[in-house]
Structure 1
Amino acid sequence: MKVYTYSQARQKLSDVLNDAQRDGEVEIKRRDGQTFILKPVKEKKSPLDIPGVDTGISTNEINEAVRESRERP
């Protein structure tokens, strides 16, 4: 984890944010000894939010296949 002083962090904010994005977090120390951790916020996405798959068949064909599979012999 990269450590910056407060003054360095102010002067190189873009670098600090890039390091936090790349490494997961950076530490910023103040003159009075206080230490802060800066972390990027992860985007909240649904696990069901996935790209579609091109099956080459229409919705009607899928529905028909489901109906056929549900019919009793």
Structure 2
Amino acid sequence: MRVFTYSEARQNLSKLLTLAQTEDVCIRRKDGSVFLLRKQQKPKGSPFDIKGVKTGVTTKDILQAVRESRER
């Protein structure tokens, strides 16, 4: 992990972003606070990919419920 001062980071932002592709980069301010620059990992799959829920409900039951709701 490489550490850069705030001034160095400002002057070499492009270099830091390239470096952060392969390793973590720390940026340190004069007041001592430290920030970590890291490449964000892409999420695997879609957030809509979810497992189904097993129930005892049949297609017939669902159609009956839909018909009943339409009659109201």
The code of the aligned residue for 1:11 comes to Q
Residue equivalent to 1:57: none
Residues 1-73 of structure 1: matches in 2 within 5 Å?
Answer: 1-23=1-23, 25-46=24-45
Aligned-partner SS, 1:22: coil
Q: CA RMSD in A?
A: 1.5
Query: How many residues align structurally?
Result: 46
Query: 5+ residue gaps in structure 2?
Result: 47-72
In the superposition, the TM-score normalised over structure 2's length comes to 0.59
Structure 1: 5+ residue stretches without partners: 48-73
Residue 22 of structure 1, CA deviation: 1.3
User: Once the two structures are aligned, what percentage of the paired residues are identical?
Assistant: 46
TM-score normalised by length of structure 1? 0.58
Give the superposition deviation at 1:44: 1.3
> In the TM superposition, what is the alpha-carbon distance from 1:45 to its structure 2 partner?
2.7
